[in-house]
Amino acid sequence: MNMPQPAAQPRNPLHGLTLEAIVTQLADHYGWQELGTLIPVRCFTHEPSVGSSLKFLRRTPWARDKVESLYLFMLREQKRHAKGTGTQD
């Protein structure tokens, strides 16, 4: 039995990214304190770490959706900022 190949997703910025990469980039960009303010979940507000965040987010779909949405927002803001300053990433 041949499994169908997944469709290419060239315009999906989340395609090919791991949850760990997303959480790490958000923590680097915002810092844990700001991340906990933007998404008030315990894994970001009390002794935050990438490992504890991954455990929580993998079993909590609504929180993972919020993290992915914030990541997409961050990308849009970075792109907007880059265009405004005349530099490109």
DSSP 47: S
Tell me the angle at which helices 50-58 and 19-30 cross, rounded to the nearest 10 degrees: 130
Would you say residue 11 lies in a domain?
A: no
46: containing domain: 19-85
pTM for this predicted structure: 0.80
Would you say residue 54 lies in a domain?
A: yes
Sequence-separated (6 or more) residues with CB below 8 Å from residue 48: 27, 32, 35, 36
Would you say residue 23 lies in a domain?
A: yes
Element (H, E) at 37: helix 32-38
Number of C-alpha atoms within 13 angstroms, CB side, residue 47?
2
Helix/strand/coil (H/E/C) assignment for every residue in 21-33: HHHHHHHHHHCHH
| Number of folded domains that form the chain | 1
Per-residue pLDDT tens, the chain, 89 aa: give them.
566 656 666 688 888 899 999 999 999 999 999 999 999 999 999 999 999 999 999 999 999 999 999 999 999 999 998 887 765 54
Can you give the CATH number for the domain in which 42 is found? 1.10.720.30
Would you say residue 48 lies in a domain?
A: yes
Q: Which residue has the tokens 């929580």?
A: 56
Would you say residue 8 lies in a domain?
A: no
Would you say residue 3 lies in a domain?
A: no
